[in-house]
Amino acid sequence: MVVIDNNRFKDFQNKRMQIFRELVKRFWYGEIRENIDLEQLTDEIKEKYGFNKYDIPFIKDHIRIAMGLDPTGNQMFENEIDLVKNFKEIHKPVIAKLDRACSYCEDQEKCKDACKYEAQIYRRTRGPIIKNEKCLTCGQCVTSCDFGALADKIEFIPLIDLLQDKDTDVYAAVAPAIVGQFGDNISMGKLRTGLKILGFEDMIEVAMFADILTIREAFEFDNMVKTEEDFFLTSCCCPVWWNLTKKNYPEIFTQMSPSVSPMIASGRFLKAIYEDAKVVFISPCIAKKSEVKEPELKGAIDFVLLFPELKEIFDALEVRLENICEENKDQASYGGRIYARTGGVTFSVKSVVNRIAPQKVIKLKAKKVDGVRECNEILKKLANKEIIDENFIEGMGCEGGCVGGPRTMIDKDKATTMVNEFGEESFIMTPFDNLNIMKILNEVGLNKIEEIMENEDVISLLKRE
């Protein structure tokens, strides 16, 4: 029996994850080889959720998106399996727009308020409209859409062959915000073991590369802030903050940190050290899927997975994290690990500035803002040359920082507590005390930490352009 009209579209965030889980199982075990196999999955989804025959292109488009492909609106599958088998990367746009679902949605106000930049990027038509020049790729609109009219492409299906290939080393680079996301009793050591079961060579804390960038930003601050009028914009780890500044405040964008994000640094360093390695970033941030595709950053990260996507993968393949042994490694400092929450970057950079320039006359005075509206307000003040007391401005696009990202799985306050506690577990207090990063820098030809601003090989790995 078909469910009444709009009910079949409701709660589509959950339904699309179940579609993805089915795709993971069937591709992983070689059960999808031909278009007929995708047709069978379409029929199962149609029956399970009460869709009708007119919804088939919509269902098939969500299958395509879950495979990392663009929606086509076609009634028939064509070359989707060949495409996904030969994919080396997922192409832009990251966020796909689909017709049909909008006409069943009764909550137009929710859609109007979805954009945190207040750009009013939607109007009710057959499908959503996004003004690309306004879009910051924050992803909040995707998580606000319960009807499946907006969805971010999932990047796992093209990765399966790489994970199952014994001759390819694939590293999982995990964002600092991952702590506690998979359950209170799931340690980082259990996550590492779980990822190895999936076929990853190892799990790397991106916080370790945040440590490296912290040291570079401390030197940058020391070089750029010489008078009371000077100021320095960070965080390089947030693409929403970076895009907001570049698109809307070009006159002060020159004060933005020139460094890449810790994510990009992790990919570049790992590929410099391990020849032919592949790197997958695991994150709560939809904007990271877009960041890795920027022309000047392309190639550092091969695929991006989000926390709920990884959870579905573990569930689909019956990897029970609570029942496996843990393999713990202390890779990052307290400072690098708390990059995940508002104020973490400030703490880390200030701790290093105090070490490298203890006699500095102009002290680091920080302003920490989070959420796009607050970020926009401080940038507006700086652009209008309004007097502010701070000279180090940390911006994070999500409220609370990365712990408040659109694809986190736990409350941001709890996530903040978990991140702080994990940071305190580190035997390394500040990035300057982290001997692990010196080993990494040695691998690419740097002998002393003071050379981080001079060594051309290291500069090429850490600079955005």
User: Tens of pLDDT along 148-182?
Assistant: 888 999 999 999 999 999 999 999 999 999 999 99
Q: What was the pLDDT predicted at 151?
A: 92
Q: What was the pLDDT predicted at 145?
A: 83
Domain boundaries, the chain: 5-158, 165-465
Answer whether residue 103 shows pLDDT above 80.
no
Give the C-alpha separation, 80 to 87, whole Å. Answer: 10
Q: Which of 23-37, 109-123, 290-304, 327-341 has the lowest mean pLDDT?
A: 109-123
Give the mean model confidence (pLDDT) for residues 414-427: 97
Please list the alpha-helical segments (H only) found in 225-275. Answer: 239-248, 250-253, 262-273
Choose between 3 and 336: higher pLDDT: 336
CB atoms within 10 A of CB 79: 10
Contact 2, 52 (CB under 8 A): yes
The structure's pTM equals 0.94
Contact 398, 370 (CB under 8 A): yes
Q: What was the pLDDT predicted at 149?
A: 86
Q: What was the pLDDT predicted at 13?
A: 85
Give the C-alpha separation, 259 to 265, whole Å. Answer: 9
Q: What was the pLDDT predicted at 27?
A: 97
The amino acid present at 274, given as its one-letter code, is Y
CB atoms within 10 A of CB 81: 18
Give the mean model confidence (pLDDT) for residues 317-337: 95
Please state, rounded to an integer, the average pLDDT across all residues of the chain.
91
Position 137 confidence tier, pLDDT thresholds 50, 70, 90: confident
The amino acid present at 99, given as its one-letter code, is D
Say which residues have a Cβ less than 8 Å from residue 423's Cβ, sequence separation at least 6: 334, 335, 337, 338
Q: What was the pLDDT predicted at 121?
A: 47
> For 77, how many CA atoms within 13 A lie in the half-sphere containing its CB?
27
Distance (Å) of CA 316 to CA 13, 25, 191, 306: 17, 6, 16, 15
Give the mean model confidence (pLDDT) for residues 87-110: 81
Give the C-alpha separation, 406 to 411, whole Å. Answer: 11
User: Tens of pLDDT along 363-409?
Assistant: 999 999 999 999 999 999 999 999 889 999 999 999 999 999 999 99
